[in-house]
């Protein structure tokens, strides 16, 4: 039977001393020892090839048990890392559940066999799914705390609403919850560590940063990672923080440190930083051998500080337990660990049919028919009945994206909008006399003025911070709609996008999701944008399962697709071509506040019978120019198909058109080699070979970078003349 220990009982103090009672010390030792024995049992199973990986929390047990006992499972929120076995055990994760993850069982509640052992996740205990990445979870913790504060101030926002993502999220908040996030000392060299501290400090968020300092990052000692060898000294000047540095092998001292930290956070004074000096008596993992880089003397010194040994000695020294009682207790815990392992080894494996489950939300697919309001809205608009107070004059893509954001923020109080320069003015006292910034392209203009600084605000200049916090917001039930200022600078956020945002639902086997929207201006054709303001690269992101990607070519599509992105239950990368923001091409009247376009539905921009031209983004108007010239000069009828979304994409529309024309060109702005068009061309050649009368042709930019000089830029990027030449050549084949 799995061991369950009451934290209330553990926290009992002795009336005479004010210190922990003997029974409390026994219960703490039980948790510490059981955690160690689970590690040891996993090591044995790995050597027997019954499990496939092992990383231990040995030496960290006292510090972790103390942290969990100072907080409330299922009330506070937890973003641990892979050594936090004793923390999660104390919060209520059972030994059997831990072994189920090590085995990779189908009944593993953390991931269903998808994650390595000790990659924790538990909705009942508010342990948010964690990854192997280091420090990414710190930014999730910050966003989680921001969301908790928002719901506390606006409890009405927690209400469920049918037909959008809010119908499927249970929002929990209490007003004084604390968020704990844990990291090894070696990971404090990561930039996201500092980004998380910056935001927590600035906003006085109730986050406890728990640093478990065992002196090593695999084989790299602390003095190599950290100037001066002590992270507490480096962070000591952050304002609003409560700081604790403690011997992490002493559970009682650690407990009091965490209690003080939690009190500081619950009182609304700001975040806390608890730095515990622990040991690592085992190697980094079973894939490592610390004897290769640690001296015998150093390892022996660590052994003298082993928290298990120290606690054993204390229980005996203070006559809390006799030697026989201690031995009996340990034998019972050994038996508990062995029984739990046996149960897990007998558990069924995941089915192969389960593999694709939870890559995307099963609740609210953005392809679903409820998002298909396009034709009805267009029909109404053609009669003039939907002009609304916003007027019926054609408006730019920038205008209609801004209108959609206004509409959705008015409809959904859970939406927050932030990014670099997106606010009208961070200093609110200036709003009365200034027009406001509202983004470098003005797409968020007026949002802060309309909805307040709590919902629309500027972020630090840190892209990982923007996306990482969005994940924390989203797992708590908010809808962050964030902006990366230029696609060219998205790369610092790649870790968060690829390893966290896109995979959250799949790796937790559907327990957690992060349906954030990340808006990104993209592309060239700017005249002077050059290397660092003209990049494309959408194919890098279409290669990421779990991430929906939209790339509209005109104002109306941008409005409808963004609305779908916001209302759906998946993370969305929403690519907005900068050149199209204010182009004459593609302007449209405002379609109304409920206009939506389902993902994965291409649009025939121009019908034709001779050649299919598949494209998207800023190449759509250029393809139209080429198609018009082909008909006018050569009598060639080109069908131009605008994909509108890249994941999912409309294969049926492509196949239907190609079967009709028997010739196809795939055109995009990104480099031709290894671009998005290569995948489409390969699938067309594979599945539609018998329908083709000519090779599949591709058009893209040169395999180089976009130059500053306009003559060079025009030569590098695909132009209407390039498309026309390919059309003529293909027709003549």
Domain's final residue, options 287, 315, 349: 349
Same domain? 549 vs 645: no
pLDDT at 391: 52
Residues of the chain with pLDDT under 70: 1-18, 376-391
- What total number of domains does the chain contain? 3
Same domain? 644 vs 506: no
Report the DSSP beta bridge partners of residue 614. 641, 666
User: Cβ–Cβ contacts within 10 Å for residue 658, how many?
Assistant: 22
In a domain, 106, yes or no: yes
Same domain? 109 vs 197: yes
Contact 61, 113 (CB under 8 A): no
Same domain? 230 vs 270: yes
Q: Please, where are the H alpha helices in 346-443? A: 374-383, 397-411
Can you give the three-state secondary structure of 95-116, one letter per residue? HHHHHHHHHCCCCCCCCCCCCC
pLDDT at 601: 97
Residue position matching structure tokens 């120019």: 625
| CB burial readout 692-716, b (16+ within 10 A) else e | bebebbbbbbeeeebbeeeeebeeb
Same domain? 277 vs 398: no
Of 621, 643, 623, 625, which Cα lies nearest the Cα of 633? 625
Q: Measure the CA–CA gap between 463 and 420, rounded to whole angstroms.
A: 9
Tell me how far apart the 2 most distant CA atoms of the chain are, in Å: 100
Same domain? 509 vs 641: no
Q: Measure the CA–CA gap between 474 and 467, rounded to whole angstroms.
A: 10
3-state secondary structure of 19: coil
H or E stretch covering 694: none
Q: Measure the CA–CA gap between 194 and 190, rounded to whole angstroms.
A: 7
pLDDT at 3: 45
Can you give the three-state secondary structure of 512-531, one letter per residue? CCCCCEEEEEECCCCCCCCC
Q: Measure the CA–CA gap between 26 and 4, rounded to whole angstroms.
A: 14
Q: Measure the CA–CA gap between 446 and 454, rounded to whole angstroms.
A: 14
Same domain? 179 vs 280: yes
Both ends of the chain: CA-CA distance in Å? 74
Residue position matching structure tokens 């708590």: 476
* Model confidence pLDDT, tens digit, residues 608-649: 999 999 999 999 999 999 999 999 999 999 999 999 999 999
pLDDT at 377: 64
Of 61, 87, 63, which Cα lies nearest the Cα of 76? 87
Report the DSSP beta bridge partners of residue 99. none
Structure tokens at 624: 């139209």
pLDDT at 431: 87
pLDDT at 10: 61
In a domain, 585, yes or no: no
Same domain? 381 vs 522: yes
Same domain? 631 vs 576: no
User: Cβ–Cβ contacts within 10 Å for residue 729, how many?
Assistant: 12
In a domain, 587, yes or no: no
Same domain? 209 vs 137: yes
Same domain? 540 vs 632: no
3-state secondary structure of 38: helix
Cα 400-405-409 angle, rounded to 5 deg: 150
Return the active site residues. 533
pLDDT at 288: 80
In a domain, 543, yes or no: yes
What is 521-571 written as a DSSP string? EE---SSS--TTSS---HHHHHTSTT-EEE--SSHHHHHHHHHHHHHSSS-
pLDDT at 387: 44
Q: Please, where are the H alpha helices in 412-500? A: 447-451, 463-475, 494-496
Strand order in the sheet with 272-277: 77-79, 179-184, 207-213, 272-277, 242-247
In a domain, 365, yes or no: no
In a domain, 513, yes or no: yes
- 164, 459, 522 from 439: Cα distances, Å: 27, 12, 14
Give the rounded distance of the alpha carbon of 662 from its chain centre. Answer: 42
* Model confidence pLDDT, tens digit, residues 322-354: 999 999 999 999 999 999 999 999 999 999 999
Residue position matching structure tokens 């599509």: 557
Of 591, 599, 593, which Cα lies nearest the Cα of 574? 599
| CB burial readout 546-576, b (16+ within 10 A) else e | bbbbbbbbbbbbbbbbbbbbbbbbbbbbbbb
Q: Measure the CA–CA gap between 572 and 556, rounded to whole angstroms.
A: 18
Same domain? 309 vs 192: yes
Q: Measure the CA–CA gap between 62 and 249, rounded to whole angstroms.
A: 5
In a domain, 255, yes or no: yes
pLDDT at 392: 78
In a domain, 364, yes or no: no
State which residues form the domain around 612. Answer: 603-732
Domain's final residue, options 518, 545, 580: 580
We report the CATH number of the domain holding residue 475 as 3.40.50.970
Q: Measure the CA–CA gap between 112 and 50, rounded to whole angstroms.
A: 17
């Amino acid at each position: 039977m799995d061991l369950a220990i009451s934290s209330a009982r553990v926290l009992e103090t002795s009336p005479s001393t004010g210190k922990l009672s003997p029974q409390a010390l026994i219960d703490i030792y039980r948790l510490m020892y059981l955690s160690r024995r689970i590690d040891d049992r996993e090591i044995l199973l790995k050597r027997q090839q019954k499990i496939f990986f092992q990383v231990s929390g040995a030496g960290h047990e006292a510090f972790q048990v103390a942290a969990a006992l100072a907080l409330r499972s299922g009330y506070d929120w937890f973003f641990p890392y892979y050594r936090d076995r004793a923390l999660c055990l104390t919060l209520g994760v059972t030994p059997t559940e831990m072994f189920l993850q090590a085995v990779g069982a189908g009944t593993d509640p953390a991931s269903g066999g998808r994650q390595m052992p000790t990659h924790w996740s538990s909705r009942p205990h508010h342990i948010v799914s964690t990854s192997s990445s280091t420090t990414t979870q710190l930014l999730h913790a910050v966003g989680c705390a921001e969301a908790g504060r928002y719901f506390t101030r606006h409890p009405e926002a927690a209400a469920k609403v049918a037909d959008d993502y809010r119908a499927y999220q249970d929002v929990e908040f209490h007003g004084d919850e604390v968020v704990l996030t844990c990291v090894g000392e070696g990971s404090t060299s990561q930039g996201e560590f500092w980004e998380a501290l910056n935001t927590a400090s600035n906003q006085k968020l109730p986050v406890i940063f728990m640093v478990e300092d065992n002196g090593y990052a695999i084989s790299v000692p602390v003095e190599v990672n950290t100037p001066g060898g002590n992270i507490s000294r480096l962070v000591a000047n952050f304002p609003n923080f409560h700081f604790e540095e403690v011997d992490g092998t002493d559970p009682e001292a650690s407990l009091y440190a965490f209690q003080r930290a939690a009190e500081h956070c619950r009182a609304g004074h700001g975040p806390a930083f608890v730095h515990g000096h622990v040991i690592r008596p085992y190697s980094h993992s079973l894939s490592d051998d610390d004897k290769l880089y640690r001296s015998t003397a150093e390892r022996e010194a660590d052994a003298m500080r082993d928290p298990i040994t120290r606690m054993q000695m204390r229980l005996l020294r203070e006559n809390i337990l006799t030697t026989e009682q201690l031995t009996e207790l340990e034998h019972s815990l050994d038996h508990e660990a062995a029984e739990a392992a046996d149960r897990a080894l007998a558990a069924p494996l995941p089915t192969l049919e389960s593999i694709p489950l939870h890559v995307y939300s099963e609740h609210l697919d953005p392809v679903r028919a409820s998002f298909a309001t396009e034709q009805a809205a267009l029909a109404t608009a053609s009669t003039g009945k939907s002009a609304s107070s916003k007027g019926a004059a054609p408006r730019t893509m920038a205008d209609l994206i801004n209108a959609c954001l206004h509409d959705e923020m008015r409809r959904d109080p859970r939406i927050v909008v932030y990014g670099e320069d997106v606010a009208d003015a961070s200093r609110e006292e200036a709003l009365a006399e200034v027009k406001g910034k509202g983004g470098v392209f003005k797409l968020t203009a007026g949002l802060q003025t309309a909805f307040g600084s709590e919902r629309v605000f500027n972020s630090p200049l840190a892209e990982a911070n923007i996306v990482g916090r969005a994940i924390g917001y989203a797992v708590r039930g908010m809808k962050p709609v964030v902006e990366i200022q230029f696609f060219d600078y998205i790369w610092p956020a790649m870790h968060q996008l690829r390893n966290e945002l896109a995979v959250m639902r799949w790796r937790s086997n559907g327990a957690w999701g992060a349906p954030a929207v990340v808006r990104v201006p993209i592309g060239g054709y700017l005249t002077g944008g050059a290397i660092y303001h003209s990049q494309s690269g959408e194919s890098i992101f279409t290669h990421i399962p779990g991430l929906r990607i939209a790339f509209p070519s005109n104002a109306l599509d941008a409005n409808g697709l963004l609305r779908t992105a916001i209302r759906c239950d998946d993370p969305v990368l929403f690519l907005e071509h900068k050149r199209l923001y204010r182009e004459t091409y593609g302007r449209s009247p405002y379609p109304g506040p409920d206009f939506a376009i389902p993902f994965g539905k291409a649009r025939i921009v121009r019908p034709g019978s001779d050649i299919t031209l598949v494209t998207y983004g800023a190449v759509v108007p250029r393809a139209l120019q080429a198609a018009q010239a082909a008909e006018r000069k050569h009598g060639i009828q080109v069908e131009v198909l605008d994909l509108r979304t890249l994941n999912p994409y409309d294969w049926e529309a492509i196949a239907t058109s190609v079967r009709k024309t028997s010739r196809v060109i795939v055109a995009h702005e990104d480099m031709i080699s290894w671009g998005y068009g290569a995948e489409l061309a390969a699938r067309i050649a594979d599945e539609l070979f018998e329908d083709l009368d000519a090779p599949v042709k591709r058009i893209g930019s040169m395999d180089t970078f976009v130059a500053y000089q306009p003559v060079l830029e025009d030569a590098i990027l695909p132009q209407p003349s390039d498309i026309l030449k390919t059309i003529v050549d293909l027709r003549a084949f």
